[in-house]
Structure 1
């Protein structure tokens, strides 16, 4: 497989993906760049938890997941959100297939700390061979980050974490967090490259603020062996043959 790009779509951006985004994905395929899409679904999950009156608190920024909450997480992510996103890829002329991390043991996990977080998982393995086989058939995998344990238990995995693990396992050329802004802005200027050290300084100076702080921290947290940089980019920009334009984050 020549060039693989993992594209992570946060739950908050899913309803705002325009035809430009799906056109961008098609253009990547035309240029022999093969996308793997990982999505979240936080707002939709919270809406359903509220509707069903299932209590679910946040601890250390993670959704504490009881067995009842896990049922809702799986239902929303692998049902409503994954199916809708997969349909839109297919409507745009691509061949996409939706998967849960439990399919083909695509994402395997262990509990992060069951006493503290419940069914929240840390990724231990990714079935990269399965994903590469799908890409080799021209299929765009659209993945909901519900993982499976050795005993068959389901785990709620942070979508940023899942995307980083998949990018490393498939030797992806790049991991892109698509969002609703061009990247990190300093006034009117787009910062094309920032390091982890730059990030801390820009946060302290108030240049990076609000919802961009968790995005940047998630990007840095995804870096590691086999993945040297992550991009934050506007999902709905019109890309050129060279790909997305945004802020590249490095260690």
Structure 2
């Protein structure tokens, strides 16, 4: 089965048109691809934390997660956001099952080395049988990136990192859906989309500060995925009509991230 992991974050979630979910359903029903959705929900989490007067802290694009913050993250991601996406797929005529990485120990994790981040985890194993079983039953998995360790402790996992780990496990293609049309640079005062960019160029853009904040874990997850059997990584604009369909058909859209030192082209 050809799996396509589609990851989108909170920055674009509320702006995705109905046609985006219709595209997801269409891809599954056509039978060539089995879509798997991994979602974030940063803005919704931040809003809830502010309402509860809990401090917001980030380090290199990753949210510092205290015990109190973890409770809010799990509530918002696995509850409000996850079920909202399930409803959107149902509205588009599809069948979806929403769950978090805690369910069935789908995402097994350990705490990241930087303990200053608190309860933030990195994925050590993916229970891919859960995905294949859902696919056989005709469901589209919708995954909230909360993981669990061997002691039953839950952790917040960056959505981009979780998506890359799932794609690695399934040897799938990975598509990051954002509110921008891809990786770009400024040329003669105008934004120029790079249709293809190498892992080396991504690393240089991070070092130069061109890629920063929340884009850092996304870019690093793309490179990590390519280094571990992910067939292809792309960054697309989810607000652009039929962008996912065009990508699945091999059309030139968004930015494709490739290994090695190939020269990016417009």
Normalised by the length of structure 1, the TM-score is 0.90
For residues 60 and 211 of structure 1, the distance between their equivalents in structure 2, rounded to whole angstroms, comes to 6
Q: Does 1:247 align with 2:255?
A: yes
**Matches of residues 1-251 of structure 1 in structure 2 within 5 Å?**
2-32=1-31, 33-113=33-113, 115-172=115-172, 174-185=173-184, 187=190, 190-200=193-203, 213-214=215-216, 215-236=218-239, 237-238=241-242, 239-240=245-246, 242=249, 245-251=253-259
For residues 138 and 27 of structure 1, the distance between their equivalents in structure 2, rounded to whole angstroms, comes to 13
Deviating above 4 A after TM superposition, structure 1's stretches of 4 or more consecutive aligned residues are 186-189, 200-206, 208-213
3-state DSSP of counterpart to 1:12: helix
3-state DSSP of counterpart to 1:175: strand
Matched pairs, number = 248
For residues 123 and 86 of structure 1, the distance between their equivalents in structure 2, rounded to whole angstroms, comes to 24
For residues 120 and 34 of structure 1, the distance between their equivalents in structure 2, rounded to whole angstroms, comes to 29
Moved more, 60-69 or 194-203: 194-203
Once the two structures are superposed, residues 145-164 of structure 1 have per-residue CA deviations (whole angstroms, 9 ceiling, x without a partner) of 01111111110001001000
Whether the 8 Å contact between 1:28 and 1:243 is mirrored in structure 2 is no
Structure 2: runs of 5 or more not aligned? 260-266
For residues 107 and 209 of structure 1, the distance between their equivalents in structure 2, rounded to whole angstroms, comes to 28
For residues 255 and 26 of structure 2, the distance between their equivalents in structure 1, rounded to whole angstroms, comes to 20
Change (3 A) 1:213 1:122: closer
Structure 1: runs of 5 or more not aligned? none
